[in-house]
Structure 1
Amino acid sequence: MGKTSKPDGGPRHVAIIMDGNGRWAQARGRPRLFGHHAGARRVREIVETCPDVGVDYLTIFAFSTENWKRTQAEVAGLMSLFRRYIFKEMQDFVRQNVRVRFIGDRVKLDAKLRNLMDEAEALTAHCTGTNLTIALNYGGRDEVARATKRLAEDVAAGRLKPENVDEETLPRYLDTYVLPDPDLVIRTSGEARISNFLLWQSAYAEYEFIDTLWPDFTSEEFTRLVGAYGGRERRFGAVPA
């Protein structure tokens, strides 16, 4: 959807790769799932901070298409955590006027989890505050492939002319079609890669790679990073006057 920064220079949409839960737990001699539970609690704090710092959209990377490669026990524990988290937080999201959306391929997720996701989206559809998007079984390449397939089906059915396909067309088929592009992408835990997250959407995003492990990521650090974004010169390929 193009350039999205607010007129005051702050980011309208922040996306976060929440990394480091497992290492955080292992450093404390605890199982990896202990870190995932701590990370889930941290999400609430960051969501609550968004209105205070002027962030309208927050997208978090909860589970990637590659995360199925983890041990069966960890994957099962994560799926259980997602179910409990959504069920527990739904009413609070409504009270806090938070609209919840999910992106990613839901087909591989179990029916109970999919139903909870649908319920959370329906229950918060009227909310007008922070827009929280949770990327669950999400991969940027997978998303583009699925979008391209739907686009090709429309071309084959005569609903779309091939000559009308351009860089403004594909975004309408992406999972994020109702969202503005992210202005700022934050990755915690010291890793400096984007790990297949919002590949198309983040073409002009600013990035912050920080050493903090996700369970230690505080609202104060989030506020600092959002504030620092305002000091960056955003040219989008142009030359400053």
Structure 2
Amino acid sequence: MIRKIYELLLEREVKKKRLPNHIAIIMDGNRRYARKRGLPPQMGHFFGSKKAEKVLEWCYELGIKTLTVFAFSTENFKRNEEEKRNLFQLIRRELFRLAEDKRIHRNRVKVRIIGKKELLPKYVLEAASFVEKRTKEYDNFRLNIAIAYGARQEIAEAVRKVLEKVLNGEVKAEEIDLKMIEENLYENMPVDIIIRTGKEMRLSNFLIWQSASKYAYFCDVYWPEFRRIDLLRAIRSWQKRVERWLDGRQA
């Protein structure tokens, strides 16, 4: 009861101030959560996928328009075959379920899969294409799911696309600027907050360009344990940082 009252008071405080437009989350700690409970690793990922659904709901309720979650990195391809297979099957199942989820359609959530898609199994690509087509016309909220994603790879691909335009005579070399590179990223919307769970304090090659000079919040819980209070605390911490920045600018 006390925790619920605190959560309501915290939400009231947060809603009085500017809210972030784009939150990105490194959903770390699924396997350690499972091990702590004597469960197989795939159960940690299962509970993690359910938590991602809840966090998306919280974002609807708070009016946060864009959420990007880090589901599978390019580095994750080094994991053993059984774990990768279990993860891909879970991702496929969840993507198909998202495509049919009434909340997605009621809230008009545009779902996009960002990453090096050609590295993914065909059955995952089919699910990704299905959910993207079902939601492509929506414009109220955005959910980006980073799969086979690496920020350095994203930047390299963006540069390659720009260079192709130069070679094709569409752009002159001296016209290349930051905006042009941004336009060729998987996701070009700046991030306000990156949240990382799992008791680690690093960004793990996630949205490097979009989060430059932005705010990182490290949360000392495993991803399946992440609570609404934790999200509200992250937002409040960001709000305080924005206030300090404004005070400094105005001084």
TM-score norm. by structure 2 comes to: 0.88
Note the alpha carbon deviations across 1:25-63, whole angstroms, 9 max, x for none: 000111111100000000110001112222110000000
Q: List 4+ stretches of structure 1 deviating above 4 A.
A: none
Q: Give the letter for the 2:66 counterpart.
A: Y
1:123 Cα shift?
0.6
Paired residue secondary structure (1:107): helix
Determine whether 1:143 maps to 2:167: no
Determine whether 1:210 maps to 2:219: yes
Paired residue secondary structure (2:211): coil
Do the aligned residues in 2 keep the contact of 1:59 with 1:133 (CA within 8 Å)?
yes
Q: Indicate the percent of aligned positions where both proteins have the same amino acid.
A: 37
Query: Which residue number corresponds to residue 6 of structure 2?
Result: none
Q: 1:52, 1:117 → 2: CA distance?
A: 25
- Indicate the structure with greater helix content: 2
Determine whether 1:83 maps to 2:89: no
1:210 Cα shift?
1.1
Determine whether 1:26 maps to 2:35: yes
Do the aligned residues in 2 keep the contact of 1:16 with 1:61 (CA within 8 Å)?
yes
2:52 aligned to which of 27, 43, 58: 43
Q: 2:60, 2:98 → 1: CA distance?
A: 18
1:218 Cα shift?
1.6
CA RMSD of aligned residues (A): 1.8
Q: 1:30, 1:99 → 2: CA distance?
A: 34
- The unaligned stretches of length 5 or more in structure 2 are 1-15
Please show how residues 1-241 of structure 1 align to structure 2 within 5 Å: 8-92=17-101, 93-177=104-188, 180-233=189-242, 235=245, 239-241=249-251
1:124 Cα shift?
0.8
Do the aligned residues in 2 keep the contact of 1:47 with 1:130 (CA within 8 Å)?
no
1:97 Cα shift?
2.1
Q: Give the letter for the 1:48 counterpart.
A: E
Paired residue secondary structure (1:208): strand
Paired residue secondary structure (1:60): strand
Query: Which residue number corresponds to residue 3 of structure 2?
Result: none
Q: 1:161, 1:88 → 2: CA distance?
A: 45
Q: 2:139, 2:249 → 1: CA distance?
A: 37
Q: 1:152, 1:45 → 2: CA distance?
A: 41
Bigger drift between 155-164 and 109-118 goes to 109-118
Do the aligned residues in 2 keep the contact of 1:189 with 1:212 (CA within 8 Å)?
yes
